[in-house]
Structure formats: C-alpha cells, structure tokens
C-alpha cells in the first residue's frame, strides 16, 4: 500500500476486498464489538441527546468564529511557551516540521497516532530527509512494520489477525512466533521503550485544542501519547484547524462522548492536557513545543455547503455501523479517511476529480447519522456531494442520458406507460446485454403495474 490515492478505483478496490475473507471477518468482528460496547457505554449517560446537542452546538460555535478561536489559541499557547506555526497545505506543513527537526539536528522521532500526519504523508517525507520515524501506537507500529496504511481511524491494524501479527513480529523483530496478543503486546512494549528514552523528538496529533488556554488535549489508552509528549526534549504537535474547542470547561462534554463513541469506553486510560512547555522549577513537559496548525483545505470547506463535516471529532462510530465500510474495509476508499465521514472529507479535501466514485459508497441508510455524537447530517452531505458530482460533470454519460430520459417520462403519464410497456417487452434483452452490470441485475418488471392492481 502506498501514499498514492486510489479513490477513483473504489469499485475495483471494493470488488477485490470483498474476496478477502480474513479482512471481512476482522471487520465484522470489529463493527459488532464496537457497536455493542458503544450501546453499553451510553447506557450510563443520563441524557445522551442533550449531550449530543451541546457537543454539536459547541462545534458549530467554533466553526462560526474559527479564525477568532484560532488566533486566541495561538496567542495563549505562545504565552505558555509554545511556538505556533501555520501551514496552509500539506507540503508547507511537511517542510515546517522537517525544518524544525533539521535545525536541532534531530535524527530519531517517536510518533503517536495522528490521522492528520497520515493525511499529509508526513512519515514518508521525514524518512526521505534521512530521519528515523517510529510509530509507537501498537496498531500503527504493526502497519508500519508491513508498510501499509491504517484501515480504521481508531484501530489502524483492524484488518490484521493475530496470526499475521505473530508472523510479522517473528520475521521483522527476530522473536519467537507467538499469536498471543498479550505476549505480542509485551514484545512491542520492550522494543519501543528503548526508543522513547533515546528519541530526539516526539511527534503527536491532538484530539482537541482548547482556545482559551492554548492547551492541546490527547486521548490515549496505551500511554505512548504521554511518552511522546513528555519524555523527549522536543515535542511537535500537528493538528488541523477545526480541532478547536472554546475552553477546557467544554472538555467534559467531549470526554463523555468521544471514548464512548469510539471504543465504548466511558473514558480512555489517559486524557492529557498539555499547556505550553516545561517552566523553571517544573519536572514535566517538553523543553520545546512546536504546534503546527494545518489548514489544508479546511477554510474552503468552511465556506461551502458541507461545512458541518468539520464538526467531526474522529470517533469512527460512523464507519463501525456503515454496511458499506463493514463489507469493503477501510483500504477500499483509497485515501486517509474511510467510511461515511471519510467519503465526505476525501471528496472535499482531494477534489471530486480524484474521488467521485466514493460518493456512491453509501446506501443512505442513515445508520451513521444515528450514531454521530455531534449530529453531522451525513446523509444530507452525501446527497449534496452527489448533486455536485453531476454539476461538475463527473457522472457517467450513460447515467446522465438515462436520468434525462426518465425525467421526461416521469413527467408525462402517456410516456411513462409506454416506457413500462417497453421495459416489460425488452427486459430479457436488457438483462442479457447488462451482463454483470447493474442493468443485468434489474428485477423483472411486473406484468401488471401496481397502480392497476390496487382498486
């Protein structure tokens, strides 16, 4: 798997993925487990709807005044000792980070999971610059060893089973084969611990940024996020603009929603709030903290008809319940973000020309809307993107012609009846010509139309 976007090949990717039995078994298991755990976790929340409404309102409040919050965050973080950088796009973010590391002579970087860093293909760039970048989240570590990309935003190696991980560790780390997740986890702990202690820099993302205090907030379970942000002398955090929340007073709302929606935990093992650098007399925190605020298309999305996707807090609940994601897996979508939120972000961030087949990757069943903790109207956004695909001329010529004919027929009863007659008469031919395509799978038209059967 490479950094090249393959969203245009979504249909082919999906057809291939459907034949991958171990992947599909893993996906089913993940989706079912998370679904059940999520329901359990929310059972202890008194008024879930009020909580979702509040979270959604807070996220909209930020989006409505994003620039203001961004400036407030930058000034408060600077006052607390951080250096704030603004990156307009992926390449400027990569260069800023590479420059910070090069200026300090850093050679080794330990990294905790960051989807934004995947979005800008940061690792590949830093490796090209001669740096050693080690992913320390267990799932990310596994896929880094194989050279793949994440297939789920919360559980990156969800598509690998324990036998595959066991063989991988035996081959790459020279340890004895085991398929016991407990033992495999301990092996990773041992291997990565040394690197934490000797790394020149730590690189992390952030789940939220509290504007009023200039704080970064990270939710983690393994403890690697804490290591990356406190052990090395230099910490670089990269986050996209929309991660802002007004203040730490709003954090409880998101603590109650994010882990429950993501993994069904009532809280992750660790929630870290980092405000600036280590001050004189303190013994915690990086001596130098650089925060890279990445736009990479967000400002443009903000002014468009799909702006509500920027409310997303990256919990992954929408993918766990999506019948398409569950069947085709994360890699089929061909870019960083899979599943329902991924379809929308990919289309908006990379452009319709590079991603238009993705907007079909939904049954519009609305399961994603039902679980979204911040009330993103995902189905409405799919429909807007489908309209946009037609407007921008990316729909298939046959589909366009067909729709035009159907539109005319549906507006005229006589034409419609004629069409019904033709479809009954020529159905065997359509089916034969359609072959394996959609036309070939159309159901046989009724001999007597429904409206004539009902008195």
Partner 1 sequence: MTSPELVRRFLTNAGNAAAGTHAVSDAAGLRRVLSGIVSRTVPAFCPGLTDKEKAATPSLACRAADYAGAKATVEEVYGAIAETGSLVCVSSGGRAVQAGLLPAHHVAIVASERIFAALDDCFASFAEGPPTNITLVTGPSRTADIELTLAIGVHGPEKLDIIVFSSEPCSDA
List the one residue from 66, 126, 138, 381 that touches partner 1 (CB under 8 A).
138
Taking the complex as a whole, how short is the minimal distance between the CB of residue 406 and partner 1, in angstroms?
45
List the one residue from 17, 23, 26, 62 that touches partner 1 (CB under 8 A).
26
Judged by beta carbon, residue 51 or residue 97, the one nearer partner 1 is 51
Judged by beta carbon, residue 21 or residue 448, the one nearer partner 1 is 21
For residue 139, state whether it binds partner 1 (rule: CB under 8 A): yes
List the one residue from 85, 125, 256, 389 that touches partner 1 (CB under 8 A).
256
Judged by beta carbon, residue 225 or residue 342, the one nearer partner 1 is 225
CA dist 186 and 181 (Å) reads 9
Taking the complex as a whole, how short is the minimal distance between the CB of residue 197 and partner 1, in angstroms?
8
What is the residue-wise DSSP string for 379-412? HHHHHHHHHHHHHTT-S-HHHHHHHHHHHHHHT-
Start-end of H helices in 263-335:
298-302, 317-321, 323-328
91 three-class SS: helix
List the one residue from 21, 283, 411, 429 that touches partner 1 (CB under 8 A).
283
DSSP state of 442: P
- Options 52-60, 151-159, 383-391, 423-431: segment touching partner 1 (CB under 8 A): 151-159
For residue 223, state whether it binds partner 1 (rule: CB under 8 A): yes
Number of residues in contact with partner 1 under rule CB under 8 A: 64
List the one residue from 87, 156, 232, 243 that touches partner 1 (CB under 8 A).
156
For residue 199, state whether it binds partner 1 (rule: CB under 8 A): no
Taking the complex as a whole, how short is the minimal distance between the CB of residue 327 and partner 1, in angstroms?
18
Please state whether beta strands 132-135 and 215-220 pair in parallel, antiparallel, or not at all (unpaired).
Answer: unpaired
Taking the complex as a whole, how short is the minimal distance between the CB of residue 182 and partner 1, in angstroms?
5
Judged by beta carbon, residue 7 or residue 213, the one nearer partner 1 is 213
Start-end of H helices in 199-279:
224-230, 251-262
Taking the complex as a whole, how short is the minimal distance between the CB of residue 449 and partner 1, in angstroms?
50
Distances (CA, A) of 88 to 96, 216, 360: 11, 20, 30
Q: How many CB atoms lie within 10 A of CB 275?
A: 19
Longest dimension (CA), the chain: 87
User: Which helix (H) or strand (E) segment is 108 a member of?
Assistant: strand 108-111
Specify the length of the chain in residues: 455
Distances (CA, A) of 227 to 34, 156, 190: 27, 20, 14
Please state whether beta strands 215-220 and 270-274 pair in parallel, antiparallel, or not at all (unpaired).
Answer: antiparallel
List the one residue from 88, 107, 167, 193 that touches partner 1 (CB under 8 A).
193
List the one residue from 123, 263, 346, 347 that touches partner 1 (CB under 8 A).
263
Taking the complex as a whole, how short is the minimal distance between the CB of residue 373 and partner 1, in angstroms?
16
List the one residue from 13, 144, 268, 332 that touches partner 1 (CB under 8 A).
268
Long-range CB pairs of 34-40 (<8 Å, 24+ gap) are 34/262, 34/263, 34/264, 34/316, 34/317, 34/320, 35/320, 35/321, 36/264, 37/263, 37/264, 37/265, 38/260, 38/261, 38/264, 38/317, 38/320, 38/371, 39/264, 40/264
For residue 357, state whether it binds partner 1 (rule: CB under 8 A): no
Q: Considering just the CA atoms, what is the radius of gyration of the chain in Å?
A: 25
List the one residue from 78, 221, 327, 395 that touches partner 1 (CB under 8 A).
221
List the one residue from 115, 146, 248, 383 that touches partner 1 (CB under 8 A).
248
For residue 237, state whether it binds partner 1 (rule: CB under 8 A): no
Judged by beta carbon, residue 10 or residue 254, the one nearer partner 1 is 254
List the one residue from 4, 282, 303, 455 that touches partner 1 (CB under 8 A).
282
Judged by beta carbon, residue 90 or residue 322, the one nearer partner 1 is 322
- Options 55-63, 269-277, 328-336, 363-371: segment touching partner 1 (CB under 8 A): 269-277
For residue 252, state whether it binds partner 1 (rule: CB under 8 A): yes
Where do the DSSP E strands lie in 275-380?
288-294
List the one residue from 19, 147, 284, 414 that touches partner 1 (CB under 8 A).
284
Spatial CA neighbour of 253 closest among 30, 6, 45 = 45
For residue 101, state whether it binds partner 1 (rule: CB under 8 A): no
* Footprint (CB under 8 A) of partner 1, residues 50-89: 80
Give Cβ neighbours of residue 364 (< 8 Å, ≥ 6 apart).
379, 382, 383
Spatial CA neighbour of 232 closest among 206, 207, 195, 276 = 195
Spatial CA neighbour of 319 closest among 267, 388, 263 = 263
DSSP state of 263: T
Spatial CA neighbour of 74 closest among 203, 247, 213 = 213
Interface contacts to partner 1, rule CB under 8 A: 26, 29-30, 33, 80, 136-139, 142, 155-158, 160-162, 165, 181-182, 184-186, 188-189, 192-193, 196, 213, 215, 221-224, 226-227, 230-231, 248-249, 251-252, 255-256, 263, 266-279, 281-285
């Amino acid at each position: 798997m490479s950094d090249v976007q393959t969203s245009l090949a979504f249909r082919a990717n999906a057809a291939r993925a459907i034949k991958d039995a171990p992947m599909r078994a893993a996906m089913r298991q993940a989706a079912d487990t998370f679904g059940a755990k999520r329901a359990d976790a929310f059972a202890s929340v008194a008024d879930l709807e009020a909580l979702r409404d509040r979270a959604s309102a807070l996220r909209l409040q930020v989006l409505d005044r994003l620039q203001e919050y961004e400036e407030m965050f930058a000034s408060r973080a600077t006052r607390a000792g951080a250096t704030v950088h603004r990156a307009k796009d992926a390449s400027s973010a990569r260069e800023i980070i590479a420059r910070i590391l090069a200026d300090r002579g850093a050679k080794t970087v330990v990294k905790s999971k960051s989807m934004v860093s995947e979005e800008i293909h940061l690792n590949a760039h830093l490796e090209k610059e001669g740096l050693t970048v080690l992913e320390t989240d267990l799932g990310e570590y596994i896929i880094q060893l194989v050279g793949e990309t994440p297939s789920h935003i919360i559980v990156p190696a969800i598509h690998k089973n324990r036998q595959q991980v066991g063989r991988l560790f035996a081959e790459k780390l020279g340890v004895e084969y085991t398929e016991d997740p407990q033992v495999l986890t301990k092996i990773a702990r041992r291997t990565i611990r040394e690197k934490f202690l000797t790394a020149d820099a730590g690189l992390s993302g952030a789940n939220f940024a509290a504007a009023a205090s200039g704080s970064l907030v990270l939710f983690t379970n393994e403890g690697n996020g804490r290591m990356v942000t406190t052990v090395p002398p230099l910490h670089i955090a990269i986050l996209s603009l929309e991660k802002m929340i007004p203040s730490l007073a709003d954090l409880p709302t998101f603590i109650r929603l994010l882990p429950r929606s993501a993994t069904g935990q009532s809280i992750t093992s660790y929630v870290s709030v980092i405000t600036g650098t280590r001050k004189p007399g303190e013994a915690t925190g990086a001596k130098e903290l650089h925060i890279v605020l990445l736009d990479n298309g967000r400002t443009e999305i903000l002014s468009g008809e799909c702006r509500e996707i920027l409310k997303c807090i990256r919990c992954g609940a929408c993918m766990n319940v999506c019948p398409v994601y569950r069947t085709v897996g994360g890699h089929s979508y061909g870019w960083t973000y899979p599943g329902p939120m991924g379809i929308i972000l990919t289309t908006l961030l990379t452009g319709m020309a590079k991603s238009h087949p993705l907007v079909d990757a939904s049954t519009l069943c609305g399961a994603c809307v039902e679980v979204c903790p911040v009330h993103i109207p995902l189905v409405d956004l799919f429909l807007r993107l489908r309209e946009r695909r037609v407007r921008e001329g990316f729909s298939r010529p046959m589909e366009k012609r067909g729709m035009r004919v159907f539109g005319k027929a549906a507006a005229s009863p006589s034409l419609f009846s004629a069409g019904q007659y033709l479809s009954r008469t020529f159905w065997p031919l359509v089916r034969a010509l359609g072959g394996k395509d959609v036309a070939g799978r159309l159901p046989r038209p009724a001999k007597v139309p429904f409206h004539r059967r009902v008195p």
